[in-house]
């Protein structure tokens, strides 16, 4: 009996981890009901992550053959560092995230993780190594405990509470009449945008992936909640390679590199201070956002 159930449990765990990553990614990029565009190559092996360095090499991509969306993007995110991608709506920021997750294949160039071309590794192993925190975390109609443990279903109760504390959602949960057993989701307690994001952070802390993809679109959060969640996001990013798709510049000022995208090309890159001093596109975006915030 044991011989049978152990592999099944293991498969269930792997399946759930992959499904969670896909659900989060699908939610993040509005791709939930789409059939997969790419298949594993026969003979492809698992991705082996050491440093977690992510490299885009001369990436070209279009959803349709007659419209270029990314036009020669090259960038390297060294293991453990943070790169933020900013730029106007439609410039191709989220598309880079979709390609990193290999929802689509590049039409020219390559994306590599620790030197391995994404096309040469299995998608399951790729998805297992990337944590995603979308702005609107999907909650399952189940207990809050289940929803956090989804990051790693074999986690102990202690580990789950530790992750919830680090994501600063433990006190909120402990204050609910049924605590961690509270039912959430559509048929249960509705959580606010900020609370949901904290559940997403706790889930990802538990999963402990070497690579993170953050969607910092903040339309779901008011600025006070956004500010208070930043420190938890920073904690989550510590020691992990992080790619931030940023819609608000205030949240990425301390990134190791900021890349400014316009019409699928990188038009500026550097640190926040260097880009401000340069007085170009980033500085103009920054000025505009500062005056919008003041209004
Ligand atoms: P925003 O800041 O508004 O989220 P973005 O910079 O993330 O924008 P993308 O979502 O990467 O932009 O989209 C880049 C372009 O690709 C847009 O013009 C968009 O219309 C187009 N696009 C996105 N998804 C698809 C798709 N599935 N099929 C065809 N075109 C798409």
pLDDT above 90 covers a percentage of the chain that reads 59
- Is the beta carbon of 93 within 6 A of some atom in ligand 1? yes
- pLDDT, mean of residues 13-33: 54
Confidence of residue 232 (pLDDT cuts 50, 70, 90): confident
Q: What is the pLDDT of residue 225?
A: 72
CA dist., res. 280 & res. 276, Å (int): 7
Q: What is the pLDDT of residue 20?
A: 55
For 37-85, how does the pLDDT look when each residue is reduced to its tens digit (9 = 90+)?
788 988 899 999 999 999 999 999 999 999 999 999 999 999 999 999 9
256 Cα: distance to centroid of ligand 1 (angstroms)? 25
- Give the chain's mean pLDDT: 86
Q: What is the pLDDT of residue 197?
A: 87
Q: Identify the residue with better confidence: 120 or 187.
A: 120
For 238-290, how does the pLDDT look when each residue is reduced to its tens digit (9 = 90+)?
999 999 998 778 778 889 999 999 999 999 999 999 999 999 999 999 998 88
Cα 94–chain centre separation = 10
Q: What is the pLDDT of residue 6?
A: 43
Atom of ligand 1 lying closest to residue 64 CA: 29
Pocket test for ligand 1, best of 63, 85, 89 (most atoms within 8 A of CB): 63
Evaluate if residue 15 carries a pLDDT over 60: no
Q: What is the pLDDT of residue 215?
A: 78
265 Cα: distance to centroid of ligand 1 (angstroms)? 14
Q: What is the pLDDT of residue 32?
A: 44
Q: What is the pLDDT of residue 38?
A: 86
- Is the beta carbon of 219 within 6 A of some atom in ligand 1? no
15 Cα: distance to centroid of ligand 1 (angstroms)? 29
For 155-201, how does the pLDDT look when each residue is reduced to its tens digit (9 = 90+)?
999 999 999 999 999 999 999 999 999 999 888 889 988 898 899 99
């Amino acid at each position: 009996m044991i011989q049978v159930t152990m592999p099944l449990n293991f498969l269930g765990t792997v399946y759930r981890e992959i499904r969670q990553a896909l659900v989060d990614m699908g939610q993040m990029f509005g791709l939930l009901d789409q059939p997969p565009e790419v298949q594993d190559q026969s003979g492809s092996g698992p991705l082996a992550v050491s440093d977690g360095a992510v490299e885009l090499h001369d990436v070209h991509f279009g959803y349709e053959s007659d419209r270029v969306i990314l036009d020669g993007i090259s960038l390297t995110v060294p293991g453990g560092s943070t790169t933020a991608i900013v730029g106007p709506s439609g410039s191709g920021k989220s598309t880079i995230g979709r390609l990193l997750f290999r929802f689509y294949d590049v039409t020219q160039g390559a994306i590599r993780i620790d030197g391995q071309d994404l096309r040469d590794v299995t998608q399951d192993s790729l998805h297992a190594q990337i944590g995603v925190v979308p702005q609107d975390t999907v909650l399952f109609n189940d207990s809050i405990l289940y929803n956090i443990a989804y990051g790693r279903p074999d986690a102990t109760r202690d580990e789950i509470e530790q992750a919830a504390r680090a994501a600063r959602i433990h006190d909120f949960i402990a204050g609910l009449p049924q605590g961690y057993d509270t039912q959430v989701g559509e048929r249960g307690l509705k959580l606010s945008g900020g609370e949901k994001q904290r559940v997403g952070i706790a889930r990802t802390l538990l999963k402990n992936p070497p690579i993170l993809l953050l969607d910092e679109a903040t339309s779901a959060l008011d600025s006070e909640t956004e500010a208070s969640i930043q420190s938890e996001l920073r904690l989550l990013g510590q020691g992990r390679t992080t790619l931030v798709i940023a819609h608000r510049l205030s949240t990425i000022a301390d990134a190791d590199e900021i890349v400014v995208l316009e019409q699928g090309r990188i038009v500026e890159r550097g640190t926040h201070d260097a880009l401000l001093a340069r007085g170009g596109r980033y500085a103009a975006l920054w000025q505009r956002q500062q005056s919008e915030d003041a209004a």
